[in-house]
Amino acid sequence: MSEPAVTLLERERELGELGSALQEARHDRGQIVLIEAAAGIGKTSLLWAALESAAQSGFTCLRARASELEHDFPYGCVRRLLEPAVAKASTAERERLFEDAAALSMPLFAPHGATTAPPSADGAFAMLHGLYWLLNNLARDRPVALCIDDLQWADVESLHFLSYLASRLDGLPLAVLATVRSRENVTADLTRLFAAPEVKVIRPQPLSIEATAALCEQRLGTKVADAFAAACHSATGGNPFFLQTLLLEAKELRFLADANEAARVKRIGPVAVARAVLVRLAGAQPSATALVRAIAVLGNGTSVVEAAHFAHLSDEDAAGAADVLIGMGILRQAQGLEFAHPIVQSAIYDDMGAHERARAHARAARVLTERGADDERIAAQIAKAEPIGDPARVELLRRVAARALTQGAPAAAVAWLTRALAEPPPSESRPETLLELGSAQLRVGCAEAAAHLESATEALRQPALVAIAARQLANARSNVGDVDGALAALSSAIAKVQAQDRELALLLEAEFAAKSQQSTPEARARAVQRIARLGSLDGDTPGVRLVRASRAFEQARASSSEAEAVRHLERGLEDGGLFGQQTDVVGPFYALVIGLLATDALDLGRKVLERALTEARARGSIPALAFLTVHRGWFFLRGGSVASAEADARMVVDLLTAHDILLGLRFAVALLVMSQLESGQVEAAEETLRTSQFGVEVPPGLANNNLLEARAHLHFARGNHAAAVEDLREFGRRDELWGAANPLASRWRSHACLALRAAGDEDGARVLAREDLERARRWGSASGIGTALRASAVVEGGADAIARLGEAVTVLQRSPARLEYARALIDLGAAQRRANSRAEARSTLEEGLKVAMRCNAAGLVALAGVELRAAGGRASEATGAGLEELTVSERRVAELAARGRSNPQIAQALFVTRKTVETHLGRVYSKLGIAGRGQLAAALARTQAPEE
């Protein structure tokens, strides 16, 4: 397996660092090491030496060499690495490899031509998650070494996976060792990998003059003069590959290794050394030249039989030529035939002219097709051939692109479909090709997506394809803020398909209604009219149910009371708004769930979200998981489960940031700020908003409203009451303009009137408080009425304050709003103390403290403690000491463990590593003073909030 020892001169430091990486991996401290240097410096020799050492140490060793020809193969490099392990696994072993979340990676290893699941918009995230857990399962029994040569040619998806893997290696017995050629094909993904703090880079240097002399003597078998060694060093720059090639030429030409030959050596530079390969090849038999050119075109890994067919050689002649080429050091036998060094491959490939290469690739595509090769290998040849308008080529490229999408590789699909469009396709298939290209471009955020989708929408005639194209076009336009353009695309498509396919038209109507929530009040009104014009719909199709769900939401939004709104929302969710139900039109579901936040039906909201989260986890959808989790967090916060809200917010911020997803991040940051404020972490909340860079200017839009509200609460906590009032008023204006909930349910006035009072505008505060209470009573939710009563009592003051606060406590006691209940109790206790009812005050404040502690609302706990001591009481320590010391992440892990989840199951559910789970649990046991997992449930139950 190893290269000749002479190629590893002066590499003790590099070998030591590679050995250290393997040793760390053996102890569950995974490593990624990149060996970066110029071509020919000996990177591959180092890699092979490390691979041999790993094999001798009991590692499972997997090796791959990236290829420029396979640069557009989705996850091509990862597949080359892992396919051998998957292929040789028994049925039982394969089931173990792909158990749990690892099953998400199975489409990548499906046999050629196998039927796979239809592509999903978030398949790329699922594949990353699945591959990570496949490696976890592979490394369960033995440490694993992944060795990749020429990483600079790896496909985008494989590089992205390595970046994903880098931050998740701790706790995994895995070493990733890769070579990278300096300053070649430097992409953003490769740059990101180099910049990852978990990645170590080794940069071997050229050989010294002393090592050059030693290598000269070993290759030439004689003592060499200092001047000759210096000339060799000067001619090759100390590059081991160039030096060995020069010495091979010198030996064949019978150079004398003395000072007199130094001048001859100096005339041979690196370029001439590389060209010497062609000179040596010209002296070989013609069949060898034909075979090596065939392999240069077909690519590394080509079989002798394939190369023989391409080169018009008999199998026997090809086998003989292969032996000659291996003997010359031009080829080596691996999985098929491959070049001994990339420099050799480049020299032979570049020796062919551009037109000759294009013709050769066209012939290669035909040869591979005749031999039944995989579509991807054929597509790679077509991509380098001249376009000729061949419909068969177009169909093959479209098939390869479709497979790439099922494997979560939209960037690869874009490359294949772009080439298909350049072929070009025949007129009858051009619209579908445009649709496929635009859809793939939409997934990678390509600016050209809208133009291609618009052309497809105009040209398509089949209703199903028109509907798909219109929805994709609507998404492309709304993604850049053109909601009116999105609605226009949907409206046009509805008119086009409704006469032929009522079901499709209904699905588009539901999409139109959902998109209208992001538009102006006038556009929303038109959407409501459209839904109303459809009348009562009979049937049980997805389209019918979704339209009824859309109507239910609009009816809830127009309701005059909470009870009426909840009836509509419940009916909508039961009737067809559940996430993932037979269609990917999920807008009505999101609208219905958000609508529940305006009511006291928090249990229903969390129940629906948990069902949707189960489905999202099963398919590894990070965008869906993030969206659903952050909404669950808002339900937790409304219910007073501050720690759970903060844990959800933190998880979503980390997930979206790690995957460069901006959509939904502002919503998650707002939840994190609000939950940090409730838990008394004012400085942390300020830091969260500052580092997010979202708090300076909050643009209009439904997704940004909560960020404006969170900033207002932060201003209030900091004592900047005028700024808080300004932000809350703007939030209220936007909430009524853009909000999904019934405007009557908005509670911003309760907070704004308190800020106004603190800012000195007592008259304005009273007016706003009265308006808020009147609106809350009309809406009818207990939490809204109780919140407004408390604010009104504080603002109005006077003799009625205690009575009004008492009423607020009574109302809030029967609501799910535990935080507001705690606030009302503390304010009531404080008012009773000031009225000199100290015994009554102590009782009220003790209850308020208890509720605040159960909510993990440290700010309220501190306030209650101050008031209780002032009333002559004592703020005793919390029941269940140690729980308050848990971080939100530790608490979330502890809760899942207490419910019987294993460490891998917890890690998969939270999208973290097993090491992270183990670390959190260790800290939990220490802080709670318990021995282990079996005592968790009892320890947590001591202070568990009732909503959880």
Query: Which range has the top average pLDDT, 199-208, 530-539, 580-589?
Result: 199-208
| Mean pLDDT of all residues in 303-324 | 92
Rounded Cα gap, residues 654 and 630, in angstroms: 12
Q: What is the pLDDT of residue 165?
A: 93
Q: What is the pLDDT of residue 578?
A: 56
Mean pLDDT of the chain: 87
For the cut 70, the answer to whether the pLDDT of residue 891 exceeds it is: yes
CB atoms closer than 10 angstroms to residue 13: 11
For the cut 80, the answer to whether the pLDDT of residue 587 exceeds it is: no
Nearest by Cα to 474 from 490, 462, 460: 490
- Angle, in degrees to the nearest 10, between helices 642-658 and 665-678: 150
Whole-model pTM: value is 0.78
Cα dist. 937→343, 881, 895, 897 in Å? 63, 15, 8, 8
* Confidence bin at 897 (pLDDT 50/70/90): very high
Collect all residues with Cβ–Cβ distance below 8 Å to 436 and sequence separation of at least 6: 398, 401, 402, 413, 417
| pLDDT, tens only, 772-818 | 999 999 999 999 999 999 999 999 988 889 999 999 999 999 999 99
Question: What percent of the chain has a predicted confidence (pLDDT) above 70?
Answer: 92
Residue type, 905: Q
Query: Which range has the top average pLDDT, 39-43, 56-60, 115-119?
Result: 56-60
Collect all residues with Cβ–Cβ distance below 8 Å to 843 and sequence separation of at least 6: none
Cβ atoms of residues 930 and 939 within 8 Å: yes
* Confidence bin at 348 (pLDDT 50/70/90): confident
Rounded Cα gap, residues 494 and 499, in angstroms: 9
| pLDDT, tens only, 619-634 | 777 888 888 999 999 9
Q: What is the pLDDT of residue 780?
A: 94
Cα 869 → chain centroid: 50
Q: What is the token pair recorded at 549?
A: 């769900």
Neighbour-count burial of 61, counting CB atoms closer than 10 A to its CB (0-12 exposed, 13-18 middle, 19+ buried): buried
Nearest by Cα to 190 from 158, 149, 159, 161: 159
Look at 452 and 912; give whichever has higher pLDDT: 452
For the cut 50, the answer to whether the pLDDT of residue 946 exceeds it is: no
Q: What is the pLDDT of residue 794?
A: 94
Rounded Cα gap, residues 548 and 214, in angstroms: 83
List of long-range contacts for 356-359, beta carbons under 8 Å, 24+ apart: 357/297, 357/384, 358/384, 358/385, 358/386, 359/385, 359/386
User: ω into residue 699 within 30 of 0, thus cis?
Assistant: no
| Mean pLDDT of all residues in 871-892 | 70
CB atoms closer than 10 angstroms to residue 768: 28
* Confidence bin at 275 (pLDDT 50/70/90): low
Q: What is the pLDDT of residue 172?
A: 93
| pLDDT, tens only, 50-61 | 999 999 999 999
Cα dist. 439→115, 385, 445, 456 in Å? 21, 25, 10, 10
Rounded Cα gap, residues 236 and 207, in angstroms: 10
Collect all residues with Cβ–Cβ distance below 8 Å to 428 and sequence separation of at least 6: none
Coil vs helix vs strand at 228 = helix
Neighbour-count burial of 226, counting CB atoms closer than 10 A to its CB (0-12 exposed, 13-18 middle, 19+ buried): exposed
| Mean pLDDT of all residues in 646-674 | 88
Q: What is the pLDDT of residue 941?
A: 77
Rounded Cα gap, residues 275 and 295, in angstroms: 18
| Mean pLDDT of all residues in 122-138 | 88
Rounded Cα gap, residues 362 and 381, in angstroms: 7
Q: What is the pLDDT of residue 543?
A: 85
Q: What is the pLDDT of residue 583?
A: 55
Q: What is the pLDDT of residue 625?
A: 86
Q: What is the pLDDT of residue 947?
A: 41
Q: What is the pLDDT of residue 704?
A: 80
Q: What is the token pair recorded at 382?
A: 């077509």
Cα dist. 898→609, 894, 904 in Å? 21, 6, 14
* Integer-rounded Cα radius of gyration of the chain: 34
Rounded Cα gap, residues 182 and 203, in angstroms: 9
Coil vs helix vs strand at 85 = helix
Cβ atoms of residues 918 and 903 within 8 Å: yes
Q: What is the pLDDT of residue 889?
A: 79
For the cut 80, the answer to whether the pLDDT of residue 290 exceeds it is: yes
Nearest by Cα to 603 from 815, 776, 848: 815
Query: Which range has the top average pLDDT, 21-30, 100-109, 539-548, 612-621?
Result: 21-30
Cα dist. 178→41, 50, 71 in Å? 14, 11, 16
Collect all residues with Cβ–Cβ distance below 8 Å to 33 and sequence separation of at least 6: 17, 18, 21, 175, 176, 177, 178, 199, 200, 201, 202
Q: What is the pLDDT of residue 878?
A: 45
| pLDDT, tens only, 382-397 | 999 999 999 999 999 9
Q: Which of 331-340, 405-414, 772-781, 806-815 has the lowest mean pLDDT?
A: 331-340
The phi, psi pair for 693, rounded to 5°, reads 65, 20
Nearest by Cα to 906 from 97, 99, 30, 101: 101
Q: What is the token pair recorded at 907?
A: 């890690």
Neighbour-count burial of 723, counting CB atoms closer than 10 A to its CB (0-12 exposed, 13-18 middle, 19+ buried): middle
Question: What percent of the chain has a predicted confidence (pLDDT) above 90?
Answer: 53
Q: What is the token pair recorded at 838?
A: 């100290």
Q: What is the token pair recorded at 920?
A: 């959190």
| pLDDT, tens only, 673-722 | 999 999 999 999 999 999 987 877 887 766 688 899 999 999 999 999 99
Report which DSSP code applies to 332.
E
Q: Which of 186-200, 475-489, 521-535, 881-895 has the lowest mean pLDDT?
A: 881-895
Q: What is the pLDDT of residue 269?
A: 54
Question: How many helices (H) does the chain have, and how many strands (E)?
Answer: 47, 7
* Confidence bin at 159 (pLDDT 50/70/90): very high
Nearest by Cα to 738 from 445, 513, 501, 516: 516
Coil vs helix vs strand at 937 = helix
Cβ atoms of residues 424 and 447 within 8 Å: no
Q: What is the pLDDT of residue 364?
A: 96
| pLDDT, tens only, 505-525 | 999 998 898 888 777 777 878
CB atoms closer than 10 angstroms to residue 174: 24
List of long-range contacts for 223-229, beta carbons under 8 Å, 24+ apart: 223/257, 224/257, 224/258, 225/257, 225/258, 225/259, 225/262, 226/259, 227/258, 227/259, 227/262, 228/257, 228/258, 228/259, 228/261, 228/262, 228/265
Cβ atoms of residues 607 and 581 within 8 Å: no
E-strand spans in 537-635?
none
Rounded Cα gap, residues 202 and 769, in angstroms: 66
The alpha carbon dihedral of 887, 892, 893, 899 has a sign of: positive
Nearest by Cα to 652 from 783, 138, 181, 636: 636
> Which residue shows structure tokens 């219109």?
470
Secondary structure string (H, E, C) spanning 630-652: HHHHHHHHHHCCHHHHHHHHHHH
Q: What is the pLDDT of residue 725?
A: 96
